Structure formats: structure tokens, C-alpha cells
Chain A
Amino acid sequence: MRTIRLRITALACWCLFMAPLSSFAHTCDDAAAASAVGDATVTAGDAAAPSPPCAITPLEIAALPAAESGAGADPAFLDDQAPAPTDRAQAQGQRQGQAAPPAGNPAPPSLGDLGFGTEQTQGSAQEQALLDKRSHMLKIHQRLGLITTVPLVATIFSGGLAGGRSTGSGGRDLHAGLGVLTAALYMTTAYYAIYAPKLPDTKTRGPIRLHKALAWIHGTGMILTPILGAIAFDQKNRGEKIHGIASAHGAVGAVTAAAYGLAILSVSLKF
């Protein structure tokens, strides 16, 4: 009776010893077989596939002879999870977790283990749409802003034809026309910056603060300059010498143009 009990215990221990070995062997065979037949769950490119339990490590690859490892041999754990080297980047959704590992192996770390909240890890199509709209509007703002510099510079140079002792109206008309074009483009440019969506909880930092501060100067100037220009235009058409508040037209225009140029440089160059 005692002998039988001992034999049963011995058999139990033998089973305990063999079970994990056969389990590991079986898992490896499965992975190898699946790879050989191109099983979709383990082939390259399936980033959602779990790590194979018998992956070849970089250290093991280094230990293999060149002929065995092959040039540019890749660790199996990456082969089974990630795209092939020739197609490194593939469209994949954000993986939030991992598949359960084989019994006996600890789970590889997942995003949930790191302590990030769901609100941090979950993507939001709405937020992306808001960012897209904001960037789109600010790109138009940037392009229009650059385009505006052309009539602005032309307006400055044509100012020499409009004032002084010049008696003809051609130069004044050209200057006034360029001024109107500049102001119209400027207002359109400003619209795209002012009405670009704002993201909540975003604190303004960096050179953009100077860019925004200068907008108060050239914004005010872009309203005042045409008004003063119109007054000066009337005075000149009446044959009068420019006087009163209209005499500030040139100076206000110069300050406006300077602030405008500085605003462009503030976000273009690193100070």
C-alpha cells in the first residue's frame, strides 16, 4: 500500500516536472508552424498580435552565426508585432492593451499599467477636428499675411508720389488704391487669426505673445492710417496743404508697417 502511494506521489511530481516543459515546447511549435503557413495572427504587419513566448532575443541573434541569423535579422517579437522593414510605417490604431500572454508568463506591460487616465489615452475625433480647423485657418492667416506685405510695401513706396509738392492726382489715386487693397487683405488676414478656434486650457507662451502684442499696434494702425489718408486725400484734392490730424498719416503708416514686419519676424526667426 505504502509503495503504491509512493509511486502515485512520484508520478504526480513527474507530471509537475513535465507539464511546463511540454507547455513551452508546444507554444514554440505552434508559433513556428503558424509563421510557416503565414497565419494572419502572427505574421509581420499585425501590430495587435501578442508577443510570441519563444521569441529570439537580440542577444541570441548576436550569438548566431551570420548564415543562421542572416543579414539584418530581426527579433521575432518585433517580426510578429510590427511591419516588415520595407514597410516600416503602417496605418494602425492606437493599441490600448495587449493580448493575454501564455499561461505561466507574466503579462507584458500595457498602457493601463502605467497609470494614465482614460481621458489621456483615448483619442478624440472632435479634438482632432478642432485642431485641424485651427491649423487650417492659421495657415490661411499666414499665407494672406505674407501676400499682404506686397501691397503694403508698394503703398509705402507710392506714398512719395501722393504727398509733397505733387499736384497731379494719378500718384494719389495709385497710393489710395494700394492702401485700400492692403487694408482689405489685412482685415481678411486678421479674420482668420481672430476666428481660429481656441483650445481650452491652453496658455499662450513664447514668441506668439509678441506676435499678438504687435497685432494691437498694427491693428490700430491699419484702422487709423486709411482714415487719416482719406482726410489727407480730401485736403490735397481741395488744393490745400495737408494739415491737422491728417499730417500724422505718414508717421502712423510707417509705425503700422514696422509693427507688421516685426510681427512676421517674431514668429519666423528665433530670438
Chain B
Amino acid sequence: MNKKLLLALCLLAFPKLGRAADRQWVLEQPTLTYHVSHPLHSTEGVSHAAKGKGVCHAGQCDFLIAVPVKSFDSGDSNRDLHMLQVVRGGQFPMVTVRTRLPEEAAGSATIHADLEIQFAGQTAVYRQVPFQLATQGSQIRITGTIPATLSDFKIDPPTLLTVPVKNEMPVSVDLTWRPR
């Protein structure tokens, strides 16, 4: 009787002890593109320097993506330096994005993520941002657009010929994650 009880209790106990088992994701081939519009022309700045990591536990995955502000290239060094100044890139050199997703979301075609973005010394939260998922072998490619605005981060719109750029600054995301 005691042996059976012992066995039952131990069987119940050990799966709980194995709860700390994790799965991790690493970001590869990242492309982040910001879009800024001005009556005279539109501009895009691209960065491939983002790094990211996801840690899964108990069915939930915490993701962190970070990218240096100065890694964005619009094809015009003067504009990039001015962008760096208006977004306070010297003082706050990194953009970080944090999100938490259920682990089973990896099997979905579309996910809606809540993003916490730290940029220019400010924190903004974007709720239920839709992203498309495409599985490529063991890798997952995530694409979508974050509807960021300059005012979300208290950024004064830069001007060209005294005309300010539009407040909208959508950021296109193309990220490939692989499990580690």
C-alpha cells in the first residue's frame, strides 16, 4: 500500500519538477524599415542590425528585439544624422520591443501581438498588432507593420524647407526566427 502511494506521489511530483524546461528562439535575417512622409517626398530607413531572443516557459514565450537607432540607413547620411538627433539617439541609442506570445501561436498564420516599444526615451504600447507568420522548415518568418507615430514617442516632427513631416511613421517588420 505504502509503495503504491509512494509511486503515485512521485509520478505526480516529477512532471512538476520538469516544468523549467525551456525553448528558445533566436532572430535571424532581420529587416526593419521605417517610413516617413513629407509633401516633397517620402523616405525609408532600413536596418538589418536587429538582434532578438525568445524564451518560452509554460506555454508562454517572452520575446525581446533590440536594434541600434544609428543602424537605420535611409541612403542619405545627412538625413540619418538628423534623424538620430530628433529621436535622441545619442542619449537613447537602442530601440527595444518586448512582447509575450503563447507558444502555440507558432502554428498560426496570423498573430495579434501586444508590443511594448522603448524608443527615444519613451515607452509606447501597441495592442493587438497583426503579424503574418510563414513557416520555413524549422524557421518562422514574421512580417507586419507597427503603426508607430512620432507623437507616441514625443518626437518633434523634423522639417524640410520649414514643412514638417507627417506624424505617421509606420515600421515594417520582417523577422526570421529559428529555434535554438
Contacts and interface: CB of A to CB of B under 8 A. Distances in A.
A202 B81 contact: yes
Contacts of B54: 109
A138 B158 CA distance: 12
A91 interface: yes
Among A58, A121, A202, A268, chain B packs the most CB atoms within 10 A around the CB of: A58
B25 to A, nearest CB: 9
A111 B94 contact: yes
Interface string A96-111: 0000000011111111
Contact of B6 (A10, A82, A207, A270): A10
A135 B121 contact: no
Contact of B122 (A6, A13, A91, A108): A91
Interface residues of B, number: 76
A202 B82 CA distance: 12
B86 A108 contact: no
A114 B118 contact: no
Interface residues of A, number: 79
Given A21-B16, A82-B125, A105-B57, A75 B81 contact: no
A92 B122 contact: yes
Interface string A174-217: 00000000000000000000000001001111111001000000
A89 B123 contact: yes
Given A13-B9, A89-B123, A134-B81, A108 B152 contact: no
Contacts of B114: 58, 74-75, 78
A115 B91 contact: no
A104 B20 contact: yes
A29 to B, nearest CB: 18
A109 B62 contact: yes
A75 B100 contact: yes
Nearest to B14: A16
A81 B115 CA distance: 11
A121 B2 CA distance: 59
Given A21-B16, A116-B51, A83 B125 contact: yes
Given A89-B154, A127-B90, A58 B113 contact: yes
Contacts of A202: 77, 81
A15 to B, nearest CB: 9
A268 B96 contact: no
A94 B41 CA distance: 32
B52 A114 contact: yes
A88 interface: yes
Given A58-B128, A75-B100, A109-B64, 9 more contacts: A3-B2, A20-B19, A59-B105, A89-B154, A105-B57, A109-B55, A110-B64, A120-B94, A131-B85
30 contacts: A6-B6, A10-B6, A13-B6, A20-B17, A47-B118, A58-B112, A78-B100, A78-B125, A78-B127, A81-B98, A85-B127, A89-B123, A92-B118, A92-B123, A104-B19, A109-B64, A123-B91, A123-B92, A124-B93, A125-B91, A127-B90, A128-B91, A135-B86, A143-B162, A203-B77, A205-B75, A206-B77, A206-B78, A268-B160, A269-B40
